Chains A and B, each alone.
Chain A
Amino acid sequence: MFFENINWSYVLILPLIGGALGGALVLVWWERRLLGFFQDRLGPNRVGWFGILQSLADAIKLITKDDWVPPFGDRALFILAPIIVAGAMLMAYAVLPLGPGLIIADSNIAILWILAMSSLAVYGVLLAGLASNNKYSLLGGLRSAAQMVTYEVFMGLSLLGVVMLTGSFSLRDVVHAQEDMWFCIPQCVGLVIFLIAGLAESHRLPFDLPEAEHELTAGFHTEYSGMKFALIMAAEYLSLILISALIVVLFFGGWLGPKFLPSEFLSGIVWYGLKVLIVINFFILLRAAIPRPRYDQLMSLGWKILLPLSLLNILITGAILLGTQ
């Protein structure tokens, strides 16, 4: 019969897209609220219950806005750029496990796929900067290119330790390999490097140089408004969720609970959600706390410290693996 031929995991696609976009929407509100509390103020609290509908109201406003394309820019690229950014981010979600067995495509190259997709998203940013034909956007695009070249390199390298310990690129295998010990302990260096690279990938402060509002007004998306702007913003929050989920899967045992608690204490998906939320909150707190380095300082941090460190991490991990075999 027809139904027997369906891979049931495809049913997840729509809920996942809906959930991810909805999550991004809630996250915008959550971030604003949380930042408000960090900063002795309230944040949006008027629309709906504790202001939770604020993002929805904003989204409606953005959708109904005039769809403006700058007449001095490159029309086709200008429209394509936000689609690439958001599309690539959503594609990365395809291989992201949401819980034990809850995964759209359980690929054996999942880690590589996610790295590839997040690199692709940077093209969107670059094109947005170029197509706007605005000097601030151009500077933002240039910074984004420089940042990508630097941080892509050791973002991949920082994960190699995890891959070596697991012996697989599949995220499910990575989680199963952490049953005895979460990788945040043997791979603590990898974790720190991946955290920094992940911040840079998702353009979060202190790595928001491509948009750096105090210098470049809004950087690469200065000319964007309405739905296209909403797509770029959504992509940014999607990538924040993605990076947080990846950190949890790769270093904090994914849906596994702590060992000292009985396994039926909480279901896997709740553990997973809790951990992701903690990482997301950590990122938000970081934004509230840290100033923004200059971008050449960021580059030299990447090339001079983080790259050698991640290479060293691979070397030591390899040596220990070789020794224990």
Chain B
Amino acid sequence: MTAELATENTALLDAPNVVRELTDRFGDQCQYQETVDGIPNVWINRNQITEVLQYLKHDAQDSFELMFDLSAIDERHRKFRADQPPSDFTVFYHLMSLSSDQDLRIKVPLRDEDSSVASVESIYPVANWYEREAFDMFGIQFEGHPNLRRILTPPLWEGHPLRKEHPARATEMDPFALPDEVQDAQQEALRFVPEEWGMSRSTKHTDFMFLNLGPNHPSVHGVFRIALQLDGEVIVQAVPDIGYHHRGQEKMAERQSWHTYIPYTDRIDYLGGVMNNFPYVMNVEKMAGIEVPPRAQVIRVMVSEMFRIASHLLFYGTFAQDVGQMSPVFYMFADRERLFSIVEAITGGRMHPSWFRIGGVCDDLPDGWYEMVTDFCDYMPARMDHYDTMALQNKILKNRTVGIGAYNTAEGLDWGITGPSLRATGHDWDLRKNRPYSSYDQFDFEIPTAVNGDCYDRCVVRVEEIRQSLRIIRQCADNMPEGPYKADHPLTTPPSKEFTMQHIETLIHHFLNVSWGPVIPPSESATLVEATKGWTSFYSISDGGTMAYRSRVRTPSFPALQQIPFISNGFMVPDLIAIIASIDFVMADVDR
């Protein structure tokens, strides 16, 4: 395989520094690949992965401190692979260097008969769960992984869902049956054995108690389970267990047209609404080469920021509720309701409007939108001040959350924490400022940060973000550009109606894009946005079809849950509840 990889190394001259650095150091075993998102891809041999990542994290000129994503691609049915090295399965590592603001994608080609690669969990702790997910979904073996078990599917699941041969629909499978012996075996496999979770039953002096918190528990925000090893009420070990909300979003992306997948994205972070459409449609536009008109860009920003406020309000309310304060959540739900009435006026939907389209947004803004939006911007700041006195400045709430579940910036990056939870440690990296997309560079707003990175700070940062989002929304309303709300591009889906009615060419496109779905040229691209809970990215691969060949959804909640043991061991059960409340996750965003 070494020989296969060491083919031509062209185009290296205009490759970024880090690629040249890698080829210099690791010889011509590296191969460079360009993608439309501008992220350099470097193919390396599988036995070099630990060495390369070790180098990139610690010794490279620009240190790549964050492993943003890790997953795999089943390449066996892919037609357009250009000059990529032969591979049945490709494991990719999306690394980020925040200090020098650059991305790097490392790819490792694997053969079907021997799909194993060394685990990098010791270099990037966040890789632990991502490798388990890749094992679960593709059956890739990560050698040296401490706990390579299934993570999203049940323990007795047959096959690996994201492999191309695994059926995607019930109609492709035999009718479902659950004989008694299968059910018994399934249940037996779920039996809690502390040793399997890395827990000991007792020490010389104490017997531990095991508490199963969730998947149905008032404070776990959905179907999330934590197995606790308790000494009295003190947590000796907490082991999170996920997968109860897994719906195969990535598999569905391979069965839906580029256009009809948009409603599915809404349901990933179901509190984020159109915020999830955002990275997806921007990514498809990048692959299709669509330039989105300014009005559509600003409308997108405005509605997304409304959803940021809605999501943060829900976080704020439940945060106060989980530390025992009963009332704020009701006030905040009422405010959220006002927001949803505006969203409803604009989009026709409430929580899941699915309103962004490839090339723009679904429709123009309705009459009277300006008054509605500015009324809300006038109304909200006073409410926020009121909540400050009620919740944030409350002494009991402070006692419960200050100094609980703290981590610093380096630890946050190690565990893949992004967004507000990372800014709570004092790291002021915000994609909207540092890599402005969709006209964010034209708005005047600040990036709130905090210092200690504890539960309280995570809440403070989000509360301040609500105020900043209000500023952005007002600027959007006051400076809304005129012009079309959809791009004039053949792949815009569906194309603007007025053109279709006059223009046979557009009518044909309309017909094709609606009946088949748009055909996106073969390409690979990833797009990141600052979503409500952190950075969400879509990494899609088109093989020149009407559907994605592979669509990777990277969500901020997944790594955040992995970090829970690290920040909660040694605290008490009520502290764990405060920590869970401060993370701001939804299970659909974790399991996808």
Give A residues with C-beta under 8 Å from B. 35, 38-41, 135-136, 139, 142, 205-206, 208, 212-217, 287-297
**Min distance, Cβ A147 to any Cβ of chain B, angstroms:** 13
**A214 CB contacts on chain B under 8 angstroms:** 218-219, 321-324, 577
Which of A205, A212, A287, A293 has a CB less than 8 Å from the CB of B400? A293
- For residue B330, CB closer than 8 A to chain A, the reply is yes
Q: How far is the CA of A235 from the CA of B224 in the complex (A)?
A: 34
**A215 CB contacts on chain B under 8 angstroms:** 219, 573-574, 577
B574 near A294: Cβ-Cβ < 8 Å: yes
A135 near B211: Cβ-Cβ < 8 Å: yes
A296 near B572: Cβ-Cβ < 8 Å: yes
Q: How far is the CA of A135 from the CA of B320 in the complex (A)?
A: 25
Main secondary structure of the interface of A (DSSP, over half): helix
- For residue B190, CB closer than 8 A to chain A, the reply is no
23 A-B residue contacts at CB 8 Å?
Answer: A39-B326, A39-B330, A40-B331, A135-B209, A136-B211, A206-B324, A206-B396, A212-B324, A214-B321, A214-B323, A215-B573, A289-B325, A291-B323, A291-B394, A291-B400, A292-B325, A292-B400, A292-B574, A294-B399, A294-B572, A294-B575, A295-B233, A295-B574
Which of A213, A217, A293, A295 has a CB less than 8 Å from the CB of B396? A293
Q: How far is the CA of A40 from the CA of B329 in the complex (A)?
A: 11
**Min distance, Cβ B420 to any Cβ of chain A, angstroms:** 21
**A136 CB contacts on chain B under 8 angstroms:** 211
Q: Identify the closest chain B residue to A294 (Cβ).
A: B574
Most chain B CB neighbours (cut-off 10 Å) among A289, A291, A294, A295: A291
B327 near A39: Cβ-Cβ < 8 Å: yes
**A41 CB contacts on chain B under 8 angstroms:** 330
Which of B320, B331, B397, B575 has a CB less than 8 Å from the CB of A39? B331
**B396 CB contacts on chain A under 8 angstroms:** 206, 290-293
Q: How far is the CA of A41 from the CA of B323 in the complex (A)?
A: 22
**Min distance, Cβ A43 to any Cβ of chain B, angstroms:** 11
Q: Known: A214-B321, A215-B219. Is A291-B330 also a contact (CB below 8 A)?
A: no
Give B residues with C-beta under 8 Å from A. 209, 211-212, 217-219, 233, 320-327, 330-331, 334, 390-391, 394, 396-397, 399-400, 572-575, 577
Q: How far is the CA of A217 from the CA of B397 in the complex (A)?
A: 20
Q: Known: A135-B211, A213-B218. Is A292-B323 also a contact (CB below 8 A)?
A: yes
**Min distance, Cβ A213 to any Cβ of chain B, angstroms:** 6
Q: How far is the CA of A41 from the CA of B331 in the complex (A)?
A: 9
Q: Identify the closest chain A residue to B329 (Cβ).
A: A39
Q: How far is the CA of A124 from the CA of B102 in the complex (A)?
A: 63
Q: Known: A214-B219, A215-B219, A291-B397. Is A205-B324 also a contact (CB below 8 A)?
A: yes
**Min distance, Cβ A205 to any Cβ of chain B, angstroms:** 7
**A292 CB contacts on chain B under 8 angstroms:** 323-325, 396, 400, 574
**Min distance, Cβ B460 to any Cβ of chain A, angstroms:** 16
**A205 CB contacts on chain B under 8 angstroms:** 324, 326
Q: How far is the CA of A293 from the CA of B578 in the complex (A)?
A: 11
B330 near A290: Cβ-Cβ < 8 Å: no
B326 near A217: Cβ-Cβ < 8 Å: no
Q: Known: A135-B211, A139-B233. Is A291-B324 also a contact (CB below 8 A)?
A: yes
Which of B320, B321, B399 has a CB less than 8 Å from the CB of A297? B399
**With contacts A39-B327, A40-B334, A136-B211 known, what are 12 further pairs, Cβ within 8 A?**
A35-B326, A135-B209, A206-B324, A214-B219, A214-B577, A217-B218, A288-B326, A289-B390, A291-B325, A292-B324, A292-B325, A293-B324
**B330 CB contacts on chain A under 8 angstroms:** 39-41
**B327 CB contacts on chain A under 8 angstroms:** 38-39, 288-289
Q: How far is the CA of A288 from the CA of B394 in the complex (A)?
A: 13
Q: How far is the CA of A282 from the CA of B326 in the complex (A)?
A: 15
Q: Known: A213-B218, A214-B577. Is A293-B326 also a contact (CB below 8 A)?
A: no
**B573 CB contacts on chain A under 8 angstroms:** 139, 215-216
**Min distance, Cβ A259 to any Cβ of chain B, angstroms:** 37
**Min distance, Cβ A186 to any Cβ of chain B, angstroms:** 28
**A40 CB contacts on chain B under 8 angstroms:** 330-331, 334
**A208 CB contacts on chain B under 8 angstroms:** 324
**Min distance, Cβ A54 to any Cβ of chain B, angstroms:** 19
Q: Identify the closest chain B residue to A292 (Cβ).
A: B324
Q: How far is the CA of A206 from the CA of B575 in the complex (A)?
A: 16
| 6 closest residue pairs by CB, A with B | A292-B324, A291-B325, A39-B330, A291-B324, A214-B219, A291-B396
Q: Identify the closest chain B residue to A216 (Cβ).
A: B573
Which of B212, B218, B326, B577 has a CB less than 8 Å from the CB of A287? B326
**B322 CB contacts on chain A under 8 angstroms:** 214
Q: How far is the CA of A289 from the CA of B219 in the complex (A)?
A: 20
**B391 CB contacts on chain A under 8 angstroms:** 291
